[in-house]
Amino acid sequence: MTRDGKRMYGGLTERVNHEQFKPHEGSFAIKNVDILSSDGDSIIPGQTILIEKGLIAAIDSTLKLSSETTIIDGTGKYLIPGLIDTHVHLFQSPNDLLLYLANGVTEIRELIGEESHLEWRDQIENGRIGPKMFVASPRLGSFESMEGWFMSWSQGYTNIQNAEDARETVKSLYDQGYDGIKIYSQLNKESYIAITETAKSLGMPVMGHIPWALELSELWQYGQSDIAHFEELMNALSREFNSNRMIGSFYGKEDEFIKFLEDRSEALAHNLIKSDITITSTLWLTESFAKQPFNLEQVLKDVELEYENPGISEWVNYIPQGLGWLPGVNRYALPENQNAEERKASKTYWETYAKAAQLLAVNLSKMGVKIMTGTDANLPPAVPGFSLHDELGSLNRAGMSTSQVLQSATAIPAEWLKSNSGKVLTGYEANLVLLDKNPLDDIDNTKAINTVIAKGKVFDRDLLDQILSTVKQANDSSRKINIDKFR
């Protein structure tokens, strides 16, 4: 079981030697490039950007360069800030760090942290290839003793029973070097209050789910700074919608619930803005809940499954509701004993679930709530790195403009993370993506990656393709289940 536990979190998959990749380092300039304005609303044409010591040293259309300066020709190309995924799960899969860079994701927020992630974060700060990392704590929840042991072993939870436990745990996590505190649905109210108070005193942000033990109206009182999904808000509202407080309480009342959300949006936005709470999106994943149980093979064909860590996608069938992707272990499979009528009702429910999250995305963004892109990467079917581009598309289709979507993946999360990035401005870190197409014209153009720059290191297209090929080879050598029919 211990070996299976390591494998199912990706720990037995062949690890790529990241040191084999040699990006260009040192001073250089990108000449005659069109750049995204700092407000994300327009393109500034014909600029030259000088990069020195990992920072943007100068930007000017008439910048004079030394004859010894290395030049990247930016003619006909578009420079945007490096993308940020604020909801990822690396587990024991360090190859994912390469996948993020290969997809223009230069910064990530890990939301189920462990000691190895702290090590990778520090190694990246000291020169290892990978995106800049924010590492939140393991999930904090409240369980009975046997359940707590199993949840800790199988899914990495930390079991918190009371305020004293909470205070001691937060202080310990701070001493270990975690950047913030991740809370989960099952956390009891006493512990939640103690966690938020202690974290605030230590300068640690608190993020994650909305505990079932809290009324939504209580959330504004305690200082939680981010909600980890649109669906967490929607689930809290569904408990408010029906006094039985059960998740899924709008089942059979889908139209009524959508109207309820519309009516609640303005007050909800007001409280989120007043309390300075951001929302992490994970919208594309939520939309997949209405697809995976009913057409899993097509879903797996639509994503870049060959890059997903095979230990995670294959999982083990004796641990229910794990992270499994493939048929037989898929996390979101419906009960086998459902009849046709029940399956139809389930499909209606999950389609409404997705619609509700889409409604929150467009309504809250229009009202000025700060939205941050996040994917829940490594939950099926969110392939690390690739899924952020899927997320951008979902947010745009839900009604957010291309400018709003780009800001949600750059400037807004950079501000939350207190990171000197997220904009193409002098003095900012040189975390940048050079595109062959204009992302304001079509958000899918974020996939047209020519070059990625991470802390001033230059990864051209050939090197990015080499990285992707090497990760794919490592995955293929570690597979137990053939996935050719999904390619």
Which pLDDT score is estimated for 127? 95
Q: Find how far residue 278's CA is from the centre of its chain.
A: 14
Which pLDDT score is estimated for 235? 87
Q: List b or e across 334-366, with b for residues whose CB sees 16 or more CB atoms inside 10 angstroms.
A: eeeeeeeeeeeebeebbbbbbbbbbbbbbbbbe
Burial class (CB in 10 A: 0-12, 13-18, 19+), 68: exposed
d(CA 101, CA 246): 40
Positive or negative, the CA dihedral 199, 200, 203, 209 is positive
Whole-Å CA distances, 265 to 237, 245, 249, 268, 391: 10, 19, 19, 5, 22
d(CA 142, CA 322): 19
Nearest by Cα to 440 from 60, 78, 73: 78
d(CA 20, CA 23): 10
Which pLDDT score is estimated for 2? 77
Q: Which domains does the chain have, with CATH numbers?
A: 82-422 (3.20.20.140)
Q: ω before 384 within 30° of 0 (cis)?
A: no
Which pLDDT score is estimated for 356? 94
Helical segments of 156-253, H only = 163-176, 189-202, 230-241
Length of the chain: 487
User: What is the three-class DSSP state of 219?
Assistant: helix
For the chain, residues with pLDDT lower than 70 are 1, 145-156, 243-249, 320-321
46 is written with which tokens?
């014909």
Positive or negative, the CA dihedral 291, 315, 391, 275 is positive
Which pLDDT score is estimated for 148? 58
Q: List b or e across 197-229, with b for residues whose CB sees 16 or more CB atoms inside 10 angstroms.
A: bbbeeeebbbbbbbbbebebeebeebbbbbbbb
Asked if 471 contacts 307 with a C-beta cutoff of 8 angstroms, the reply is yes
d(CA 343, CA 90): 33
d(CA 160, CA 152): 11
User: What does the pLDDT look like over 227-246, one tens digit per residue?
Assistant: 999 999 998 998 888 765 55
Whole-Å CA distances, 472 to 238, 252, 330, 476: 41, 44, 22, 6
DSSP assignment string, 78-140: EEEEPEEEEEE--TT-THHHHHHHHTTEEEEEESS--HHHHHHHHHHHTT-SS-EEEEEEEEE
Position of tokens 């190309």? 77
